[in-house]
Amino acid sequence: MAQVEIYTKMFCGFCVRAKELLKRKEIEFTEYGVDGGGPKKDEMVERAGGRTTVPQIFIGNKHVGGCDELMALEREGKLDTLLARA
């Protein structure tokens, strides 16, 4: 299974939804809190091509995007394939 990383903020509803989907699917992930900015926030922005919103989700080395993109992958039946390939 691919490594999944998610950058989040504490009171972000989209972050909660994305994490709930991953947990429902029993997908382990590494979460980085970027509430206070700092090096992890800078890392996220760089990895996400300048995007500053949360969540920002990465599967393997692929930038998936945010919650909406993750949910779309699941609806389209592409999330499991991506997880298996990455």
Q: Give the tens place of pLDDT for each residue, 34-69.
A: 999 999 999 999 999 999 999 999 999 899 999 999
Q: Is the per-residue pLDDT at 74 higher than 70?
A: yes
What does the pLDDT average to over 11-19?
98
Q: Are 27 and 74 in contact (CB under 8 A)?
A: no
Q: Is the per-residue pLDDT at 15 higher than 70?
A: yes
The count of domains in the chain is: 1
44: domain range? Answer: 4-85
CA distances for 28 relative to 6, 38, 67, 78, angstroms: 11, 25, 16, 18
Helices (H), the chain: 13-24, 39-47, 67-75, 79-85
Is this structure's pTM higher than 0.85? yes
CATH classification of the domain holding 39: 3.40.30.10
Q: What is the pLDDT of residue 86?
A: 64
Is residue 62 helix, strand or coil?
Answer: strand
Distance CA 66, CA 56 (A): 5
Compute how many other C-beta atoms are within 10 angstroms of the C-beta atom of residue 20: 11
19-28 pLDDT per residue, tens: 999 999 999 9
